[in-house]
Structure 1
Amino acid sequence: MTVYRTRAGLRHRFRDVLNFYYPDCLDTTVGGYVAQLDERDGHVYDARTKHLVATARGVHNFSLGVLADGPHWCEHAAEHGLQFLATVHWDDARRGYDWHLDGRTPTDRTRYCYGHAFVLLAAARALQAGIAGARDELERAFGVLEERFWELDHGRYAARASPDWELAPYRGQNANMHACEALLAAYEATGADRFLERAYTVADRVTRDGTAATDGLLWEHYTESWEPDLSYNEDSPRHQFRPPGYQPGHHAEWAKLLALLAEHRPEDWLLERARTLFDAAVDLGWDDEHGGLYYTVADDGEPIVADKYGWVHAEAIGASALLSRVDRDADGRSADVLEWYDRLWEYAGTHLINPRYGNWYERVTREHDRDGPNHGPAVEPGYHPLTNCWLVTRALAADGVDALGTRADAG
């Protein structure tokens, strides 16, 4: 049995990621976090830029540390980030969260649903962790999402607006996926049905209605009327945030979210759709020659960008773990989805996890070479591996077992 099937193994990996970022990520001069740590050795390569998503993810990560009974400094670190999020990132005059700051000075006030969703997620986990001020921030972030981004006729959120709230025509599934994640966390933190109902609506519209024109696969980019824009960025296959093609990682991530939603809304379609999306992720995305999941593919599985990203594998790990709890035979044994869990961990451990520090690399090439330092303001400060390690350990605790693939009555 792989060590990562066990609570102890997952806890070890969880702490490794937290320890990589703390204490260097705490900015004690300007406030907030220094998220730009080199993934190879941890040195700070940009001490000034504050990115809304990186700040929110930092609050989320350290709040999970509190919830997981992690290091004692997690509570202070979460409080430190939430205070900066609520005061410096918040633009009180225009009632929204600023996207980029240079220190404490706004440099990009574009309003992104994606960023506001992560504020909601951060506040929800902070509320669960007992961090002061989290409830107010949760309500404020949700209010902005509802007032500025929600499109009632389409049951989904718009993607982007100007600083003064003029909506752009682009629509995207990614912002809605993370809004669904945040809404589920808000429901878990508050018990308020409005968050669960909104999460359910988004999930239904994105993963069922929104895939009718693409044979059940999740397209990323849409027109203002929510029609798939199949030619979007087709001349920019390596676009950092909006590449063309299907993303196996997002299929796995939605599979995970539907499995989580099914715990609160036990409807058959949720788990059925979760299984279908996970199968699509591995069937289309797995590289039979070199291993690992491609970043983007065509609808026949031909890779568009064959790089292997850390977040993709972390999300597939979380999805396979949650699905293994419900895909069991009469003897309680998990189906082959648990074999995927082991395979994904083996790949990540071999190619994507820094052997010295335990953090996850952003990406490697198809043949597992590292193509550069992966520097930039839009960093991923451990959010995906921390989230999925925590979700799996939480599921094991709920099942009363110490390892995936075992039964509670077996000890």
Structure 2
Amino acid sequence: MTDAPFTLPKTNSSLWSIRPFHRQYLMRQANNLYDFFEAPSINPKGGFYELDEDGKPLGGDNAIRQIHVTTRMVHCAAIGSLIGRPGSDELVDHGMRYIWEKHRDQKHGGYVWSLDDNGYKDSGKQAYGHAFVLLAASSAKIAGHPLADQMIADVTKVINERFWDEKRGAVRDEFNQDWSTLLPYRGQNANMHMTEALMAAFEATGNRDYLTKAERIADLIIAKNAVPMDHRVAEHFDDNWVLDKNYEGNEMFRPSGTTPGHWLEWSRLLFQLWALGDKRLSWMTDAARNLFRQAVDLGWDEKHGGFFYTLDWDNKPIMREKLWWPVSEAIAAAAVLSTHDRDDYFQIWYRKLWDYAENHVIDHGRGGWLSELTEDLRPTSRLFVGKPDIYHALQACLIPLYPATGTLTSAIIQGDHTVKQAH
């Protein structure tokens, strides 16, 4: 006799996110992440350190600063400022000045990928990095930083003139430093994060061109590619946007196969984009639901728990490691979907995902979240060294606390306004 699948009794099916204890739990977890990452990450020479498992700086006296690390910390510090965490404004300023004075290429324009105290280490110009510059600047603008408008204008000009492909409705991926060489690779990951950044820029500035570009990217990556492939997100394309199923790239940023964590990330972004676009593109909500369900059905390890990092095109695991960011994105997606869709399925998974994170991913002894687990959930470091950043886990903690009507930074402002009206 097999056990019947677990379902929530009707008396226990209300959203956790409205329950006072759960809201306290989420804010406590967010505060723990800030405690672990903020002060130890500050590099007195500029920018931010990456941290080891114990929260100690990596890289020594001449640590390399990668642009996604700098910009994500600015974004998260801006969130800290908006929710009222003391010390956050100084972190925003510390990071914004490093982006503007160091990552920004004053000779050729754009923002380089990495540098140390002696200069550029990787001077390439990636759409992925520029997306996070736009996100950081947009979040900093909402938090009131004086450099934000200038940075938004600068990076927007670069995105429009260098990366944006008007014919395709997406961004190109990577140039060399002086823009003379464009790599033939096209990828969904840079476009996914550009979608996130474009939404944030739209909310920060009111310029609808950002929203239009985000909708066009979603149409290409999801409506034209993922939906016909049974709601599996294709990662890698050639310069004509023809799917390359045999692509083998960087295991961290461009792994082969397909990545269920990105299906989950898109499921959240689509609902946010639908809400920002006056709820007129109904295809997005249907796609979001199906992306979430497919990620669970194909990517979740029923034996041990956790999402496999990558799958092949026969839906078999390639990399069986369980990383921190897919479960973070799954939590955020389940929270957003539960708000808009009262199907108990999404709330059941929201709770199951937090159970998994609490019992296996959150490092209760040292702080932060474990970045990588083996298939059977033992800590490992094959792909990642240390605890890479605060960004994914922090958003998993905070997105459930605020209205699911757009990006987190603007949702915090909207939530504060709602509280003021109630009083």
Please give the TM-score of this superposition, normalised by the length of structure 2. 0.87
Mapped to 1, the partners of 2:396 and 2:357 lie a distance apart of 13
Q: Quick one: distance in 1 between partners of 2:232 and 2:355? A: 27
Matches within 5 A, 1:322-401: 322-328=336-342, 334-372=343-381, 380-395=388-403
Shift of 1:139: 1.6
Say which SS state the counterpart of residue 143 (structure 1) adopts: helix
* Among candidates 169, 172, 194, match of residue 158 of structure 1: 172
Match of 2:241 in 1: 226
Q: Residues 396 and 248 (structure 1 numbering): CA distance in 2 closer, same or farther, change over 3 Å? A: closer
Q: Show structure 2 runs of 5+ residues with no match.
A: 1-11, 406-410, 416-423
Higher helix share: 2
Local SS of the residue matching 1:176: helix
Residue deviations 1:10-57, cap 9 Å, x none? 1111111111012111112x11211x2112x11122141111110001
- Shift of residue 156 of structure 1? 0.6
Q: 1:407 is matched with which residue?
A: none
Residues 199-222 of structure 1 deviation map (CA, whole Å, 9 limit, x = unaligned): 111111111112366343211000
Deviation string 1:366-391 (CA, Å, 9 cap, x unpaired) is 101112386659x7311101123222
5+ residue gaps, structure 1, are: 329-333, 403-411
Partner of 2:37: 21
Instruction: State the match for 1:253 in structure 2.
Output: 265
Q: Following superposition of structure 1 onto structure 2, how do residues 9-408 of structure 1 map, counting pairs within 5 Å?
A: 9-28=25-44, 30-34=45-49, 36-39=50-53, 41-47=54-60, 48-70=63-85, 72-103=86-117, 105-165=119-179, 166-211=181-226, 214-233=229-248, 239-265=251-277, 266=279, 267-328=281-342, 334-372=343-381, 380-395=388-403
Partner-residue secondary structure (3-state), 2:145:
coil
Q: CA deviation digits over 1:154-184, x for unaligned, max 9?
A: 1110111111112100000000000000001
Residue identity in the other structure for 1:264: L
Shift in CA distance, 154/169, structure 1 to aligned 2, threshold 3 Å? same
Moved more, 2-11 or 16-25: 2-11
Separation (CA, whole Å) in 1 of partners of 2:116 and 2:276: 41
Could you say what secondary structure the match of 1:304 adopts? coil
User: Separation in 1 of the partners of 2:404 and 2:273?
Assistant: 17
Q: State the identity %.
A: 36
d(CA) in 2 for partners of 1:374 and 1:26?
24
More deviation, 390-399/286-295:
390-399
- Tell me how far apart the structure 2 counterparts of residues 194 and 8 of structure 1 sit (CA, whole Å): 38
Q: Is this contact kept in 1: 2:252–2:383, CA < 8 A?
A: no
Helix, strand or coil at the partner of 1:336: helix
Separation in structure 2 between the aligned mates of residue 224 and residue 9 of structure 1, nearest angstrom: 46
8 A Cα contact 1:52 1:98, kept in partner: yes
The runs of at least 4 aligned residues of structure 1 exceeding 4 Å deviation read: 1-5, 373-377, 396-399
CA distance in 2 between partners of 1:375 and 1:202 (Å): 29
Question: Counterpart amino acid of 1:109?
Answer: S
Q: CA RMSD in A?
A: 2.2
